[in-house]
Chains A and B, each alone.
Chain A
Amino acid sequence: MVTIDLSTMPVREGNDALRAAAKRGEDIEILNPDARHHIGVGLIHPVTVRVKGSAGYFCAGLSHGARFEVESNVGWGVGDSMYAGSVVVGGNAGAIAGVALRGGEVVVKGNVGSRAGQVMKAGTLLVCGRASFLAGYMMYGGRIVILGDSGDRVGEDMSGGAIYVGGKVQSLGSDAKIVDMTPEEDADIRAFLKTYGVPFDGTFTKIVNAGTKLRYGVNEPISRPLPHPVFSEGDSYWNAKVAEDIHAKSLIGRYRIRGYGAAKPVPHFGDIAIKVDPSRIGAAGDPTKAVKLAMTLGERHGAKPLTLSMPVLIAPMSFGALSKSTKVALAMASRLSGIVENTGEGGMLPEQRKEAAQLIYQCLSGRLGWNIHDMLKADALEIYISQGAKPGLGGQLMAKKVTKELAAIRGIPEGIDLRSPSRHPDIMGADDLVIKVEEFREATGYAKPVSVKMGAGRVRDDIKIAYKDGFDFVQLDGLQGSTGAASTEVLENVGVPTLSALQEALDGLNEIGHDGSMPVVMMGGIKDGVDAVKALALGAGAVAMGTAALIAGGCISCMQCHVGNCVVGIATQDPEHEARYKTELQAQAIHRFLESVRWQIAAITQALGYSDFRQLSRKDLVALTPEAAAITGLPYDPDYRVVDEQLLTQVA
């Protein structure tokens, strides 16, 4: 038995002591908790923790196997993403009690705030008093037992699990319904109550998902994209693509969905030229030996940084959108090229962890596959706020791809058209975000960089929040960023182009006098080392590549990722189709592509007369269109031609 007095030390120190004691198998008593946040987060040993008083946010969050007893009240997010174990709260709990519960038991003797059990996947949340509104909101599994009244809109958009209400069902949420329960279920709940010594002799009303929204009603007729060059203008305003789009909608009666990113032309890196003499490209031997490309990422707050052999990362893409084989190939390639792979939404695959030397682990709003064990295995943690392809909305994964294995790793029912929430349960604004980041740091001992992934919107302002909230780096994704499935309208029409996003990010940081400690990793249409050099010269700290890496590994750009029948086995969970993907072979191809990218960055840097990519600057660029000039402030020179370009065209 160890006693930790939080009146004598900060929580960070207290959690260190707590973990050390738990590792030794000693039970812990916490004195003077004073409703501090993050008490006991990330605890993974089966000990008992007695909190003598009230705890703040995320008490027992991200824990596995420990038994927490909180004498008085808890703040929001008690038992956040808990895997197994128990929390018993003597008093009331704030909002989102049992959020993203993955197992174990959360028992609140008093009342709970709103959205209890949001996105929970398994385990039991027992509320002995009453619940506030939206209990069981978007839950995927497990059970919530509410002995008092349910609160309004109980079970809103739940897709799995069950809610048992002992009091009054105040109102049912969207897509929820009341069903009969079996005597066995009833007996099971009462037995559970007995274990915690909770008396109850009333009756229960069972609420489950009504199933009216789990699947899109009509499947979209598959149509391979028409060639891009025709756009609505002048005589071609009502062109074949417009007609095709209208026809499809007149069949399905809803917005359309596809994979890939924005297809329309917007100002981009192609509108900028590098002021380099092409004849000097690779003229002086192996440029990768002559130019310094290695860098680190994520040391802003003293965490162990990621080490990159060049300023390039693999963009976040999920197992789910992509097949396991593809994720493993990307992991292999990232290792072979000495860069970093990213899990994307939907959890960490053991095979992916094994193959990737460095892996960023992403946390999304649905907390799909999010757990303490994989956090500890990760090399960096990342909070996903949004992505370039569909900012302002949650992820989408069509039922065809929600296979047994995938559902298991994400902790969700098999075969639903999975729609992730658009907002984190516990991030309503910038202040919540600070606390969330802190929870992650507490849970992992401040050893891992924490980054944020953001789609480009009001970047100038958003980046300031990211800076002030203390992220180690930002992964910023422009309009052109791709996805496995999104509304075509959102893909094309929501968010700002990558070039504008980068410029706004840099402007925003300059406006608050930043110290250069939070690099911006730019992504969204970075296609090769040439684009990378432009982004770096404009001021990006590094770049990330998703689609280009997939193409290097055999993607043919048919833009049908959402269908799930990917012809080359990349964007599919169908075993027959996945078998078409030769993991080892494609890993080598992606690796070779990354090495070509390395060569390109090095060769251009060298040809510009530098020995380190950090010497690249805006002086090396010129804008070829008035838009690119206006956005970046680069000199506008539409006729810019390198000295011997004539020669070049003759050669070509």
Chain B
Amino acid sequence: MSSCKPFSLDLAADQSGLPHYQPPPCQVACPIGTDVGSYVGLIWSGDTAGALEAITATNPFSGVCGRVCDAPCEPACRRANSDGPVAIRALKRYVMDALGPDFHLPAIQPDKDKRVAIVGAGPAGLTAAQDIAAEGYKVDVYEALPRAGGMMAWGIPDFRLPAEVVEQDVARILERCPGITLHLETPLGDKVTLEQLRATHDAVLLTIGASAGRKLGVPGDDLPQVVDGVTFLNKVNGGERPQLPAHVVVIGGGDVAMDACRTARRLPGVKKVTVLYRRGPDEIPARHHEISAALAEGIEIVYNVAPSAVVQASGGSVELRMLKTELGAPGADGRRAFRTIPGSDFAVAAGLVIAAVGQKAVSLELAKLGMMDGERIATAEADMSTRVPGIYAAGDAAFGSSTIVQAMFQGHKAAYYVVAALQGNAHPAPYRTPYRTRSAEVAQDVAWEKLGREEPRFLGLRDEPFADSEAGYDARTAKEQAARCYRCDTETGSVDYSVKMRETIFALAREDSGPAEVARLTRSRLATRPDPAPAGHRATFDELVFLPANLTRLVIDPYREACKTVTDLADGLTLAHPMLVGGLDAAPAAIKAAAASAVAESGGAYVGRAPLGADVPWLQLAPAGVPADPAAAMVLAVAAPHAAPVKPDLTTGQKWGVVASLANLDAAIDLAVSQKADLLLLDGSGVLPADWADLSGAPDLALLTKAVARLRALKAEEAFPVLWFGGLRSGTDMAKAMALGANGGVACVSAAIALGGVPKGAGVDFAEVEDAAGALGRFLKAAVSECSMMARCTGKTNVHNLEPEDLRTTSLAAQSATGIIMAGLKKAG
């Protein structure tokens, strides 16, 4: 990892314009644009370090978010509409669980002189600190409390987020960015003033959080039995385990309310916890995940009730006076307004009332300087500036309580403007979250369509009440859950319905796509241009298609009737099919033995410098000077480069043939015709008998066409069979070569791949493959079935009846190489 600009700050690094990548809905839903598709894909591939890189490129709190992120990605997941979203958050947790707390990223040393002060070591502050430090600046982070992490450390209880997870994430940031100095227990206005910071730093960023709980706002809310949720959670997270009364009532419906009720449930003395919420279950803002955990832990949730007063009752408890509520029309924020129902009063007795009704930022220092706007720091959303030049703000203190991932987004955004200012860029492009892909491979799991979403195991209340309430995935579960991902980010397998096209169609079908959006999509479709064909493009078999029988030619019935494939190469050399194997001279002995067994079994033959095995008919490739081998069923003369081939010396009656390439085509054919050869092998690679000649790229199809023309000119079309060598990947390629005039062909690299080979440079590496002979046998069988199928589609019942008229080309290059007319044209040229 270099000290280049951190990804989140580098808008130019956005890859959403790439032709084969589409930022998927989960990534777009994530405020910081996490490359979800890639990290999920990398988990499936077993590359957890790679997955962490993908996560931490935008998210320094991967451990924290793996446990408590509100995961807006999951509702956005397209699989949510099928059988439940991909477990994106739990998979993130798996990455850190698998890598362990000691996993560190390489350090980025500061290399610039300017310094930035950040006040508040919560998610916004530390995210910004990392970005700014990664740019090479030195950063001082001032934290009022004795532990860094802000609400992550002080607001979220240990059973959801163990303290050490926050510590590990913070430690990872500090180790990655040695330029950050953390000053704990240094509250603003107390140990350090804004004036001092401005004097000693080139920029100041305020991320002080909203850590003061709001009051209930009803008579009696100042009684000692009424506390606010944040204060309550801070205490417990600080290590206190107070004895509480038997019945605790929590008022509110947000995540703080859920954390407070579940925390209270775990404290000594508590028998019952009730949550009172003023709207209905459809409106409650707490995540479904947290609500079901609370319910599972025996907490009662009462909806549609609002407090009207708290009254001191006997025995140290209070009476909470309540009213029932009803819901009205949706308000400006989209949530339905509620109103209390007159006369619906009732009372609830409680030992302790926890008011979890919102938080606010409080800073006397900032208030004195006139930087506050009510409960928030007055901050411009456009560039995160405050009323004081050089001072920026972000996080809950600037924009109100939100989520960790939203705070991180603001941290990135603030860092972007701070860095721009430090670099003297007065008018940076407006910040937007950049998207990036790591093009991780798509999971190849047989069950990916069937595997259901598996929730991490809920552990609930245990003997140690503040221990983890949720288990992580084991490796197998993580892999399965990762396999469920649709991988909306990746290119499809179809040129026509590419990922960009698919997304355009989705967009054209979306409910919120009005005429303006449809017009925009239409204009962009009108503007797309085809990729230019590469210069000097050599036509391949892929640019040939077969013409099916339809109305003018009779379709072949019966459907399943086998098509004849018997291939006569010479007297005594009749093969079961036209697909020979060849060019395996450089393969290991075991591979050759396997190939021999498969070729013999298939009724085929082998072409090579040396025989493959006793049972396999062998067509010997005999370069000039190499004597004919009496064991060969046929001897094929190969000329030296730029030399004319000569007829080999044969033992009596031995069959022989000539290898022709573009370099010596006429001479080779003339020899074969005049000397009455038994066979002509066309070498599309041009480099036979070299090892792995087939690896020399796409074969030149013009060779076949030219050879046929030459033979025709000599009236020798039927004089001997013609075999094709070069680029045969499948039975379809074989069928095309046969339609162009060959009587059979030689599979080389395709056979090697079937035998477990992996092409590498100019050679082929062989992996240990179980039953390599069976594998090649099956490949040959498949290839022959494909070749037959092509013949049948054209209305033929014998593969040798394929003819040029059965073909069309789909490119001008192919038309000119083969002379086969391009589909749609009346005549070539």
The residues of A with any CB-CB pair to B shorter than 8 Å are 134, 137-138, 156-157, 174-175, 213, 221-229, 231-235, 237-238, 242-243, 245-247, 249-256, 260-268, 270-271, 273-274, 276, 278, 281-282, 286, 385-386, 391-394, 419-423, 428-430, 433, 454-455, 457-458, 460-462, 465-466, 479-480, 487, 489-490, 492-497, 499-501, 503-504, 507, 525, 527-530, 547-548, 551-554, 556-560, 563, 565-569, 577, 580, 582, 588-590, 592-593, 596-597, 599-600, 603-604, 624-627, 630-632, 638, 642, 645, 648-649, 652
Across the interface, which residues of A come within 8 angstroms of B754, CB to CB? 246-247, 249-250
Residue contacts A-B, CB under 8 angstroms, 28 given: A224-B443, A228-B492, A234-B538, A238-B729, A243-B753, A246-B730, A249-B778, A261-B494, A266-B810, A267-B811, A267-B824, A270-B528, A392-B548, A422-B556, A457-B547, A457-B549, A494-B548, A495-B548, A507-B826, A528-B505, A553-B509, A566-B449, A567-B449, A569-B82, A577-B449, A592-B511, A624-B530, A638-B532
Establish whether residues A493 and B546, one from each chain, have CB atoms under 8 Å apart when the complex forms: yes
* Interface pair A232/B729, CB less than 8 Å apart: yes
> Does B379 have its Cβ within 8 Å of any Cβ on chain A?
no
Choose among A137, A234, A247, A589 the residue that contacts B698 (Cβ–Cβ < 8 A).
A234
Chain B residues with Cβ below 8 Å from A386 are: 548, 550, 555
Cα distance, A174 to B560, chains bound together (Å) = 9
Residues of B within 8 A of A267 (CB): 810-811, 824
Residues of A within 8 A of B498 (CB): 228
* CB 8 Å contact bits of B644-681 with A (1 = contact, 0 = none): 00000000000000000000000000000000000000
Complexed CA–CA distance, A227 and B553 (Å): 36
Verify B729–A245 contact, CB threshold 8 A.
yes
Asked if B808 is at the interface of the complex by the 8 Å CB criterion, the answer is: yes
B792 an interface residue at 8 Å Cβ cutoff?
yes
> How far, in whole Å, are A267 and B811 apart by their CA atoms in the complex?
8
- The distance in angstroms between the C-alpha atoms of A492 and B793, with both chains bound, is 13
Residue-wise interface mask of B (499-538) relative to A, using a CB-CB cutoff of 8 A (1 in contact, 0 not): 1011011101111010110110111111111101110011
Q: Is the CB of B777 within 8 A of A253?
A: yes
Q: Which chain B residue shows the least CB distance to A590?
A: B509
Q: Is B493 engaged at the interface, CB distance under 8 Å to the other chain?
A: yes
A383 to chain B, nearest CB (A): 11
Task: Check A227 against B732 for contact (C-beta < 8 Å).
Answer: no
CB atoms of A489 and B538 under 8 A apart: no
A276 touches B822 (CB 8 A): no
Q: In the complex, are the beta carbons of B444 and A224 less than 8 A apart?
A: yes
Beyond the given A249-B783, A255-B785, A603-B519, please list 13 additional residue pairs across the A-B interface where CB-CB is below 8 A: A174-B558, A232-B698, A243-B758, A251-B778, A278-B526, A282-B516, A393-B559, A494-B547, A552-B506, A566-B449, A567-B486, A592-B511, A630-B824
* Complex Cα–Cα for A253 and B783 (A): 8
B576 within 8 A of A: no
B-chain residues with CB within 8 Å of residue A222 when the two chains form the complex: 444, 446, 448
B290 at the interface (CB under 8 A from A): no
Q: Enumerate chain A residues within 8 angstroms of B528, measured Cβ to Cβ.
A: 270
Nearest residue (CB) in B for A239 is B759
B20 touches A (CB below 8 Å): yes
The answer to whether the Cβ of B495 comes within 8 Å of any Cβ in the partner chain is yes
Decide: A527 near B509, CB < 8 A? Known: A282-B515, A625-B530: no
Contact B790 A493 (CB under 8 A): yes
CB-based contact A419/B559 at 8 Å: yes
Of all chain A residues, the one with the shortest Cβ separation from B491 is: A227
- Docked CA distance A567–B442 (Å): 15
Decide yes or no whether B346 CB sits under 8 A from chain A: no
Residues of A within 8 A of B555 (CB): 386, 392, 422-423
Chain A nearest CB from B724 CB (Å) reads 15
Q: What is the bound-complex CA distance between A54 and B448, given in angstroms?
A: 61
Query: Of the candidates B526, B545, B552, B778, which one forms a contact with A276 in the assembled complex, judged by CB atoms under 8 Å apart?
Result: B526
Q: Identify the 3 closest CB pairs spanning chains A and B, nearest first.
A: A225-B493, A500-B824, A392-B548
Decide if A547 touches B508 in the complex (CB within 8 Å): no
Complex contacts, B776 vs chain A, CB 8 Å: 250
Q: Give the chain A neighbours of B276 by CB distance below 8 A.
A: none
A270 to B526 alpha-carbon distance, docked (Å): 9
- The yes or no answer to B62 lying at the interface (CB within 8 A) is no
Q: When the two chains form their complex, are residues B778 and A600 in contact, meaning their CB atoms are under 8 A apart?
A: no
Judge whether A246 and B729 touch: CB under 8 Å. yes
Q: Which residues of B contact A251 (CB under 8 A)?
A: 775, 778
Q: Which of B496, B518, B540, B808 contacts A525 (CB 8 A)?
A: B496
Verify A627–B446 contact, CB threshold 8 A. no
Residues of chain B in range 750-792 having any CB-CB distance to chain A below 8 Å: 750, 753-754, 758-759, 775-779, 781-783, 785-786, 789-790, 792
A507 to chain B, nearest CB (A): 7
Distance in Å: Cβ of A256 to nearest Cβ of chain B: 8
Residue of A whose beta carbon sits closest to that of B441? A226
Residue of A nearest to B825 (CB): A630
Contact flag A157-B558 (CB < 8 Å), given A458-B553, A630-B822: yes
Known: A246-B753, A260-B494, A419-B559. A593 touches B553 (CB 8 A): no
CB of B526 within 8 A of CB of A495, answer no
Q: CB distance A596 to B518 under 8 Å?
A: yes
B73 within 8 A of A: no
Which A residues touch B825, using CB under 8 A?
Answer: 500, 630-631
**What residues of chain B lie closer than 8 Å to A466, measured between beta carbons?**
551
Alpha-carbon separation in the docked complex, A31 to B645 (Å)? 81
B442 surroundings in chain A (CB, below 8 A): 224, 226
Point out the residue from A225, A234, A596, A600 that lies within 8 Å of B492, measured CB to CB.
Answer: A225
Task: Give a binary string over B788-813; 1 marks a CB under 8 Å from any A CB, 0 the rest.
Answer: 01101111000000000000101110
Q: In the complex, A360→B536 CA distance in Å?
A: 48
Q: Which residues of B contact A245 (CB under 8 A)?
A: 729-730
B423: chain A residues within 8 A (beta carbon): none
**Which residues in A have their C-beta under 8 angstroms from that of B552?**
430, 458, 461-462, 465
The CA-CA distance from A568 to B697 in the complex, in Å, is 40
A556 to B449, CA, bound (A): 12
A588 to B560, CA, bound (A): 42
The answer to whether A237 and B727 touch across the interface, beta carbons within 8 angstroms, is: yes
In angstroms, Cα B749 to Cα A429, docked, is 43
Contact yes or no, B497 A281, CB < 8 A: no
Instruction: Please judge, given known A-B contacts A233-B538, A246-B750, A419-B560, whether A652 and B496 are in contact too, CB under 8 Å.
Output: no
- Which of A175, A227, A247, A500 has the most chain B CB within a 10 Å cutoff? A227
Interface centre among A278, A385, A422 (most CB of B within 10 A): A422
A557-B497 contact in complex given A392-B795, A487-B789, C-beta closer than 8 Å: yes
Contact A627 B811 (CB under 8 A): yes
Complexed CA–CA distance, A496 and B494 (Å) = 17
Give CA–CA (A174, B736) in the complex, Å: 29
Report chain B residues within 8 Å CB of A557. 492-494, 497, 499, 502
Bound-state CA distance A432–B732 (Å) is 32
B551/A528 in contact, CB under 8 A: no
| Distance of B672 from chain A, by nearest CB (Å) | 28
**Chain B contacts of A525 at CB under 8 A?**
496
Bound Cα distance A461, B805 (Å)? 14
Is B542's beta carbon under 8 Å from chain A? yes
Q: Which residue of A lies closest to B488 (CB)?
A: A556
In the complex, A158→B641 CA distance in Å? 58
Q: Please report which residues of chain B, range 415-451, place their CB below 8 angstroms from some CB of chain A when the two chains form the complex.
A: 442-444, 446, 448-450
